[in-house]
Amino acid sequence: MRRPIALAALALALASAPAAAQTHGAASARRPADHRADSNSLRAQLGIPVALRLLASDDFASRVRGIERLGAIGTKEAVDALVDAIDSSSVSARDPRVRLIAVRALAGEAKRDNVRQLLQNLVVDSSGADGRSGAHPLTGLVRGTAALALARAGDGKAVAGLVKAALQGGAAGEAALRALRTYPAASFDALLDGQKRLTPPLATLLGELGDLRALDKLRALLAEGGPELTKGEPPGRSAAAVALARLGDEAALPVARGWLLKSEPRLRRAAAEVFVYLDAPEAPAAVAALLESDATHEDGLRLSLLAPAPALAAPLAKALPDLPEELRGRAVAALGRAGGVTQLVPLLDKPDSALAAAFALAILPGDEARAALEGALRASDTPAHPGGYEARRQLARAGVVRALVLDDAPSGLKDALRALFKATDPADRAAGAFGLVATGALSLTDALEASCKTAGEALACDATAGAAARGALALPDGAGSLEPLFPLLARLAGQAHAPGAPEARSSGDEPLAVALGAALLAHPDGGDLPTSVLAAWAEAGGPLAPLAARALPSRDDEALRGRIKRLLEGTDPVVRAHVALGLGRSPEASAVSLLTSAYRLEEDAGVRRAVVRGLSLRAEVQRVATLTLARDLDPDAEVRSLARAALDGRALDPGVRPALGPEPRRSVAWVSIQPNDGRSPLEGHQAPARAARVVRADGVAVPAVADPDGALLVPGLPAGPASLLLGRAPEPR
């Protein structure tokens, strides 16, 4: 039985990189006239009844053909028939899959009154007519697509409806806000919907949209009450002040300075936000005041992370003991951003804050932070140190992170790593192996050979090999080829046929195989691994399943196609995504049809991103319609961005290290895994090697084995959020 475990901390160090600007042109909302049928044509007259019969079918594929037929006809009668069919209590209306396809078919007609009303209803309530499908996984996709269709149309009534939905909040409000940001309203009056006076929620919305046309209206709202008003401030003034500050307008500064003297938390919070957004000199003092109050300390912490300043280090340290436990990790991170080296050092000796403090020092630039880490590392080498070798491991790992992220390794780091690598404790050896390989002080081949010299030391072998393999992810290769991982593949092939428990070998759960599985990052086609082994790993759902699933389509043929289809339709979205990535390399032309079909009803944004990446590697003309749909109407901003790039001819293969953004070797995820009994890794707790998978921001899964003390450091990650799964994902069905 798998032991329940809990994640204690997840930290990701990233070198800063400018965010890619995303702009969205106001594409035409109507399809070309030659795609339509004249209402008097034989096609229109005969096509509509046939389509309606298909829509009434019990067969889903037939209903889809009916929708697509009506959309292709495109006459007023056809559009009205489709709206009536979807807006009824029929079987079609209750099926979220049909509703999604209908929304896409009707998107070009959003200026028509009945279509606009249907789309607005779907934004507010995407459930079926009987309300039973509200929790369907496709509900959010239907809502987001309908909102984008309305915003893309640019019609005044459509925009007004989206504004109302945005002001209501909730899932509908979020979808409406995203749509209005994606396709800004051509007319500012449409955003106001005839209102002469802004309400507080509308003022907040205008600030979030970033529309500079709102400045005059916001200034007028701010001026209400006049400077002589001393109490009973209307909420509209604070909303207008924050909105103006977000737009970069300094009109709110005098009012915000007056609010600093107030005792009302709402006004003090608004004043601090104004100062932070405008980078005013009063910002640190205003944020520090928020940290002092239980009613506002969470807002103070949020703004501390948003606008770090040295003056916030002391207030953060003072507030830290009184913060709820779930906020203390963020507070230590804010201390690091504020440059609070003096306040961080004492936290290194406290088990509940040692990891966060070590990580903060590791990524904090400057001689003072490096010197503090060096001093702590030297002190940990004494018998009297309260943390003993457990603390030395922690600090050595922090030194490695600093070496990778800042290229500023503390002195004595390599000596500390060599001492750990020679120790008998499996956790020490793992920490040493990771650091030596990651910093280039020991080759991956030598580390692997030294990992399993002594028979019977399975824990040390698995952990040390796993750590060495993870360390190789940090090695620079100069061309994005991941060549440093090549020594892993031969060992992985040998491991697949090694004696031992056959169920572990066939499922890819054996820790050493998982550790060596990083080789598949460098071999998207699976290298010399047998197809039967890759298929078994892909279907078992273990940490190796995603990369094995990515490799299978490169060997696509009639015999293997059935297994590829089942994996593409399975329950694990990460595996589905990797099959889609692999289909981009399939030698079969029909692979493009698998990808376009997979996109049609895929509820997981990560899988849709992978489908678009896969289509970017194909040359078949069938890809264009799906990529165009994804570019215009996919609710996920990254899917839209990838689709635009694919239509521009860019190949979006994430199989090698990304060429954009900061060097991936300068990004390190540091996870601490703790048992549910609450014992800290610094208390000497060790466990068998834990297999895991880390999904990078570009969707590629990295198999990994955690160190025996629960530490898991994974370098070589592209910029962006990553996710972690411990143990086994649901097996594909």
Cα torsion 160, 162, 165, 171 to 10°: value is: 180
Residue 492 has pLDDT above 60, yes or no: yes
Count Cβ atoms below 10 Å from residue 89 Cβ, excluding itself: 10
Please give the pLDDT value at position 475: 80
Apex CA 675: angle with CA 674 and CA 680, to 5°?
Answer: 50
- Maximum average pLDDT range among 413-417, 668-672, 673-677: 413-417
Class of domain 33-183: mainly alpha
Contacts of 404 (CB under 8 A, 6+ apart): 438, 439, 474, 665, 666, 668, 715
| Sole residue written with tokens 């086994």 | 728
Lookup: tokens for 115: 């279509």
Q: Give Cα 17 distance to the centre of its chain.
A: 17
Q: How far apart are CA 303 and CA 181, in angstroms?
A: 23
Higher pLDDT, 406 or 25: 406
Helical segments of 584-677, H only: 591-600, 605-616, 623-633, 637-647
Q: How far apart are CA 9 and CA 569, in angstroms?
A: 33
Residue 30 has pLDDT above 50, yes or no: no
Q: How confident is the model at residue 598 (pLDDT cuts 50, 70, 90)?
A: very high
Please give the pLDDT value at position 127: 58
Higher pLDDT, 261 or 279: 279
Least trusted range by pLDDT, from 61-65, 285-289, 489-493: 489-493
Please give the pLDDT value at position 191: 86
- 0.95 cut: is pTM over it? no
Count Cβ atoms below 10 Å from residue 486 Cβ, excluding itself: 16
Residue 630 has pLDDT above 60, yes or no: yes
- Maximum average pLDDT range among 187-191, 438-442, 497-501, 655-659: 438-442
> What one-character DSSP code corresponds to residue 527?
T
Q: How far is CA 720 from CA 99, 237, 492, 547, 666, in A?
A: 33, 36, 29, 20, 13
Report the candidate in 335, 420, 393 with the shortest Cα–Cα distance to residue 369: 335
Lookup: tokens for 585: 């390399």
Count Cβ atoms below 10 Å from residue 4 Cβ, excluding itself: 10
Least trusted range by pLDDT, from 489-498, 677-686, 698-707: 677-686
- 3-class secondary structure, 59: coil
Please give the pLDDT value at position 528: 85
- Maximum average pLDDT range among 56-70, 505-519, 634-648: 634-648
Q: Which contiguous run of DSSP H or E holds residue 691?
A: strand 691-695
Q: Which contiguous run of DSSP H or E holds residue 715?
A: strand 711-715
Please give the pLDDT value at position 457: 61
Lookup: tokens for 706: 């955690």
Higher pLDDT, 381 or 710: 710
Q: How far apart are CA 120 and CA 176, in angstroms?
A: 10
Please give the pLDDT value at position 496: 61
Instruction: For residue range 541-588, list pLDDT tens digits in order.
Output: 889 999 999 999 999 999 999 999 999 999 999 999 999 999 999 999
In DSSP notation, 53-122 reads: HHHT-S-HHHHHHHHHHHHHH--HHHHHHHHHHHTSSSHHHH-HHHHHHHHHHHGGGTTSHHHHHHHHHH
| E strand intervals along 448-492 | none
Q: How far apart are CA 142 and CA 180, in angstroms?
A: 16
Q: How confident is the model at residue 501 (pLDDT cuts 50, 70, 90)?
A: very low
Burial class (CB in 10 A: 0-12, 13-18, 19+), 314: middle
For residue 167, give the amino acid letter. Answer: L
Q: How confident is the model at residue 459 (pLDDT cuts 50, 70, 90)?
A: low
Q: How far apart are CA 182 and CA 202, in angstroms?
A: 18
Q: Note the CATH number of domain 483-647.
A: 1.25.10.10
Q: How far is CA 711 from CA 131, 292, 463, 474, 722, in A?
A: 46, 34, 11, 17, 16
Least trusted range by pLDDT, from 18-22, 175-179, 468-472: 18-22
- 3-class secondary structure, 12: strand
| Sole residue written with tokens 């001093």 | 375
Sign of the Cα pseudo-torsion (300, 303, 308, 309, in order) = negative
Q: How far apart are CA 96 and CA 122, in angstroms?
A: 10
Tell me, letter by letter, the H, E, C secondary structure of 446-471.
HHHHHHCCCCCCHHHHHHHHHHHHHH
Asked if 162 and 123 touch (Cβ cutoff 8 Å), the reply is yes
355-382: average pLDDT = 92
Burial class (CB in 10 A: 0-12, 13-18, 19+), 526: buried
First to last CA, the chain: 22
159-183: average pLDDT = 93
Sign of the Cα pseudo-torsion (492, 497, 501, 504, in order) = positive
136-147: average pLDDT = 94
Higher pLDDT, 453 or 706: 706
Instruction: Report long-range pairs for 163-169 (Cβ below 8 Å, ≥24 apart).
Output: 163/190, 163/191, 163/193, 163/202, 163/205, 164/193, 165/120, 165/123, 165/124, 166/205, 167/199, 167/201, 167/202, 167/205, 168/124
CA atoms within 13 A on the CB side of 9: 28
- Compute φ and ψ for 369, nearest 5 degrees: -65, -40
- Maximum average pLDDT range among 161-170, 252-261, 454-463, 547-556: 547-556
361-379: average pLDDT = 94
Please give the pLDDT value at position 728: 61
Please give the pLDDT value at position 511: 81
CA atoms within 13 A on the CB side of 398: 31
Asked if 202 and 184 touch (Cβ cutoff 8 Å), the reply is no
Higher pLDDT, 504 or 620: 620
Q: For residue 713, what are the β-bridge partners?
A: 670
Least trusted range by pLDDT, from 78-92, 475-489, 495-509, 628-642: 495-509
Higher pLDDT, 455 or 468: 468
Residue 255 has pLDDT above 70, yes or no: yes
| Sole residue written with tokens 């824990």 | 459
CA atoms within 13 A on the CB side of 727: 11
Higher pLDDT, 61 or 385: 61
Residue 631 has pLDDT above 50, yes or no: yes
- 3-class secondary structure, 385: coil
Please give the pLDDT value at position 549: 97
Asked if 642 and 612 touch (Cβ cutoff 8 Å), the reply is yes
Report the candidate in 668, 669, 687 with the shortest Cα–Cα distance to residue 677: 687
Please give the pLDDT value at position 573: 96
Q: Give Cα 491 distance to the centre of its chain.
A: 32
pLDDT over 70 for what percent of the chain?
Answer: 81
Q: How confident is the model at residue 686 (pLDDT cuts 50, 70, 90)?
A: low
102-129: average pLDDT = 88
Please give the pLDDT value at position 726: 84
Q: Where along the chain do its domains lie?
A: 5-19+660-726, 33-183, 483-647
User: Do 33-183 and 483-647 fold alike per CATH?
Assistant: yes
Please give the pLDDT value at position 683: 45
Radius of gyration of the chain (CA): 29
Q: What is the mean pLDDT of the chain?
A: 84
Contacts of 558 (CB under 8 A, 6+ apart): none
- 3-class secondary structure, 22: coil
Q: How confident is the model at residue 673 (pLDDT cuts 50, 70, 90)?
A: confident
Please give the pLDDT value at position 345: 94
Q: How far is CA 631 from CA 27, 72, 152, in A?
A: 10, 20, 12
In DSSP notation, 164-216 reads: HHHHH-HHHHHHHHHHHHHS--S-HHHHHTT-SS--HHHHHHHHHHT-GGGHH
Residue 92 has pLDDT above 80, yes or no: no
Q: Which contiguous run of DSSP H or E holds residue 304?
A: helix 297-306
Q: How confident is the model at residue 402 (pLDDT cuts 50, 70, 90)?
A: very high
